[in-house]
Amino acid sequence: MGKDPTKPRGKMSSYAYFVQTCREEHKKKHPEATVNFSEFSKKCSERWKTMSAKEKGRFEDMAKLDKARYEREMKNYIPPKGEKKKRFKDPNAPKRPPSAFFIFCAEFRPKVKEETPGLSIGDVAKKLGEMWNKTSS
């Protein structure tokens, strides 16, 4: 069960239009250059943050038009029949037994919390993971 090719393309945000325009400008200026995606995204983000509301207005108008297009197309879109809905778990089904690591954590978590009361939940989990790795090796 793949994507429906007849489903309307999603609506784009004003920022997405801005990034698309930046990409087109960059390609015109540097047609041969390869683009480092993360660096390019950071620069676009910085430019977007420094833009005035008037400058952003052009992209917001484009986004509004695209939103109207999307809503118009979705009204006419008929999803294909026969798609199965997500099956929900049976609430009466027996629970899966806990793994050895979960049993270990249940036993040692109170001890770790007692030894170091200031630790966050994530730090307690990291410490339990380290203890588990020491015991299993």
Q: CA distances (Å), 124 to each of 113, 120, 132, in order?
A: 7, 6, 12
> Tokens representing 6?
């007849």
Statement to judge: residues 106 and 68 lie in one domain:
no
Q: What tens digit of pLDDT does each residue of 15-39 get?
A: 999 999 999 988 898 888 888 889 9
Tell me the C-alpha distance between 55 and 13, whole Å.
15
Statement to judge: residues 22 and 65 lie in one domain:
yes
Containing structural domain, residue 128: 100-136
| pTM of the predicted protein model | 0.55
pLDDT band at residue 69 under the 50/70/90 scheme: very high
